[in-house]
Structure 1
Amino acid sequence: MKELRIIGVPSDLGQGRRGVDMGPSAIRYAGLSAALEGLGYTVQDLGNINVPTPEMKEQNQNTKLRYLHEVTEVSKNLCNIVSTVVTEGHIPIILGGDHSIAIGSLAGMAQSSTNYGVIWFDAHGDMNTAETTPSGNIHGMPLAVSLGYGHEDLLAIGGLKQKVKPENVVMVGIRSIDEDEAKLIHETGIRCYTMAEIDRRGMAKVMTEAIEIATNGTDGIHLSLDLDALDPMFAPGVGTPVYGGVTYREGHLAMEMLASSDALVSVDVVEVNPILDERNRTAMMAVELVESLFGKTVL
């Protein structure tokens, strides 16, 4: 059984609503380490990466990439830490923070292999670029960056322009896509399972196919788990909630199927916002999902 390493990235630089920087603390407070140790894992918490707060920096309002320099530096730091953890033979669990942290996570994974699959479990596509973003928030860009589309500073992290191959990338739970994002999704050919398709076909069939795509000739799966993939009924404290999402049981089924695949190599858990939460419900939901992801079952 591989050892687990927890890495906190308390960043809200990539999004416009404050509060997700407290996500790592909320998830820890909800008992993540104890829950994983209860499943038999050896867990080491590496603490938090140093992240500047927006108040510490003067933002350039003329750019479509808000806090580009700061996000780039945080991503470089995370890339190095994730690369070290994977090289040592451990599984990194990266706690956000906003979803821009996935730029560093995937860059770090690419240091050991450019041949792994990605399941992007999210309400949003995160496929914008500086040319298409309506907000300038980099948390709407990490998947595009990881596929090789975006600003050169972000693409250069880790030394490889394309961190993942589009044929091994799967999006699950999508229900909020900008028009230009949709064009890029079609252009890249990545498989996108919207909530409408999950409704029609069921989560079990969707995840069976998603795992097949993400493991087809790859070295394993990186899961990028945005809690806003869940319906706000189950996860109210998220950075950008969208109604009509994944249910409690659908979420657990997806994680249970990933656990059964024995293909998981790393995971991001992002966009938990305690300010918007109800008695830490969303962080507790995150811990429960991670438990299922690492093998917890009823019997």
Structure 2
Amino acid sequence: MSPVTRSVALVGAPTDIGAGHRGSSMGPEALRVANLGARLARRGMHVVDRGNLTGPLNPWAPPTDGYRHLDEVVAWNTAVYEAVYAELKEGNLPVMLGGDHCLAIGSITAVARHCREKGTKLRVIWLDAHADFNTSQITPSGNIHGMPVACLCGYGPDALTGLGDVTPATSPDVFRQIGIRSVDEGEKRLVHEVGVDIYDMRYIDEIGMKAAMEEALADIDANTHVHVSFDVDFLDPSIAPGVGTTVRGGPNYREAQLCMEMIADTGRVGSLDIVELNPAFDKRNQTARLAVDLVESLFGKSTLMR
């Protein structure tokens, strides 16, 4: 189905329940202020804004048995899972407005279920500074926004690994991680053991964004559902200061644009997360505006003259 005929549903999840800093709960509103809906409508899409999901408040408590706010994280992810799955059932393209990256457990669990029911192959393009493959044994913080990929692959508490109809929701081979540059030592060993496909910044520096993306997208075919999980800290903080966990040395504006345009060129984008936007650290909403600009490129806006 061409992007022109797509019906896009914006689903807000305003919580920083899995994060180490307050503020990403304001992300959905910042994206709306930056006119995400109107900009996508300008691309010929039918856009409906479902408003915000509701869930428990952030108790800002220390870890219990290795996890911070586990019950609340489960509640929020359950709400995201149900909302995203409902949009996919309706034939809509869900755009989950986070919130912190723990919410990808819910959204990708829903997308994985949808793909199994449709008989389509799932490919998750994970745009992030972090691999997010921590476990409670690896990280002392207990912040679950560092654990979503691990949980999706079955490494985590039962309440999160068993969120959907199948456990685990996905396998490591569905992920293509782009822009990684901050990985804990124990996490590094684990991603090597399980075989996550990672295109870190060193690799991108060596071969260029174009060649890296060609590799990452090589096996996408007409029977592939592409889910993009866009953590705004993927971008270099010099252009995107409005995130909770900045890591220097990320993609610049042109590299990020090329990345998004090449994903768009596959024609297979079927769902999207936009997460970890933290207006408390931003300057005049510039990071939200940049994120919206890049999402437009993901949905077909191009600088190509040819």
Shorter-chain TM-score: which interval?
over 0.9
1:163 corresponds in structure 2 to 169
- The within-5 A match list for 1:166-177 is 166-177=172-183
Residues 3-54 of structure 1: per-residue CA shift (max 9 Å, x gap):
1000011110101101010000001100100100111100000111103222
Cα distance change of structure 1 residues 218 and 143 upon mapping to structure 2, 3 Å threshold: farther
> What runs of 5+ residues in structure 2 fail to find an aligned partner?
none
Residue 283 of structure 1, CA deviation:
0.4
| TM-score, normalised relative to structure 1 | 0.96
1:31 corresponds in structure 2 to 35
2:199 corresponds in structure 1 to 193
Secondary structure at the aligned position of 1:46 is classed as strand
Residue from 98, 101, 104 that aligns with 2:103: 101
Residue from 257, 260, 264 that aligns with 2:262: 257
Please say if residues 128 and 233 of structure 2, whose CA atoms lie closer than 8 Å, have aligned partners that are also in contact.
yes
1:128 corresponds in structure 2 to 134
Residue from 271, 275, 290 that aligns with 1:270: 275
d(CA) in 1 for partners of 2:145, 2:106: 12
1:4 corresponds in structure 2 to 8
d(CA) in 2 for partners of 1:164, 1:218: 17
Query: Which residue identity lines up with residue 271 of structure 1 in the other structure?
Result: E
Please say if residues 168 and 216 of structure 1, whose CA atoms lie closer than 8 Å, have aligned partners that are also in contact.
no
1:43 and 2:34 correspond: no
| TM-score, normalised relative to structure 2 | 0.93
d(CA) in 2 for partners of 1:190, 1:296: 30
Query: Which residue identity lines up with residue 44 of structure 2 in the other structure?
Result: G
- Percent identical among aligned pairs is 44
1:145 corresponds in structure 2 to 151
Query: Which residue identity lines up with residue 131 of structure 2 in the other structure?
Result: G
- The within-5 A match list for 1:217-228 is 219-228=224-233
Please say if residues 10 and 24 of structure 1, whose CA atoms lie closer than 8 Å, have aligned partners that are also in contact.
yes
Residue 134 of structure 1, CA deviation:
2.6
Residue 58 of structure 1, CA deviation:
7.3
Cα distance change of structure 1 residues 40 and 158 upon mapping to structure 2, 3 Å threshold: same
- The within-5 A match list for 1:33-112 is 33-54=37-58, 57=59, 59=61, 61-112=63-114
Cα distance change of structure 1 residues 34 and 180 upon mapping to structure 2, 3 Å threshold: same
Please say if residues 236 and 252 of structure 2, whose CA atoms lie closer than 8 Å, have aligned partners that are also in contact.
yes
1:117 corresponds in structure 2 to 123
d(CA) in 2 for partners of 1:219, 1:84: 20
1:295 and 2:300 correspond: yes
Secondary structure at the aligned position of 2:183 is classed as coil
Cα distance change of structure 1 residues 178 and 58 upon mapping to structure 2, 3 Å threshold: closer
Residue 280 of structure 1, CA deviation:
0.3
In the alignment of these two chains, the number of paired residues is 296
d(CA) in 1 for partners of 2:195, 2:189: 10
Please say if residues 56 and 75 of structure 2, whose CA atoms lie closer than 8 Å, have aligned partners that are also in contact.
no
Query: Which residue identity lines up with residue 169 of structure 2 in the other structure?
Result: K
Secondary structure at the aligned position of 2:302 is classed as coil
Please say if residues 17 and 239 of structure 1, whose CA atoms lie closer than 8 Å, have aligned partners that are also in contact.
yes
d(CA) in 2 for partners of 1:192, 1:250: 17
Query: Which residue identity lines up with residue 79 of structure 1 in the other structure?
Result: Y
> What runs of 5+ residues in structure 1 fail to find an aligned partner?
none
d(CA) in 1 for partners of 2:165, 2:16: 25
Q: Report which stretch shifted further, 142-151 or 161-170.
A: 161-170
Residues 152-199 of structure 1: per-residue CA shift (max 9 Å, x gap):
111110132222232221110000000111111111112111101101
Instruction: List 4+ stretches of structure 1 deviating above 4 A.
Output: none
Please say if residues 117 and 218 of structure 1, whose CA atoms lie closer than 8 Å, have aligned partners that are also in contact.
no
Query: Which residue identity lines up with residue 123 of structure 1 in the other structure?
Result: A
Residue 216 of structure 1, CA deviation:
6.0
Please say if residues 98 and 239 of structure 1, whose CA atoms lie closer than 8 Å, have aligned partners that are also in contact.
no
Q: Report which stretch shifted further, 113-122 or 42-51.
A: 113-122
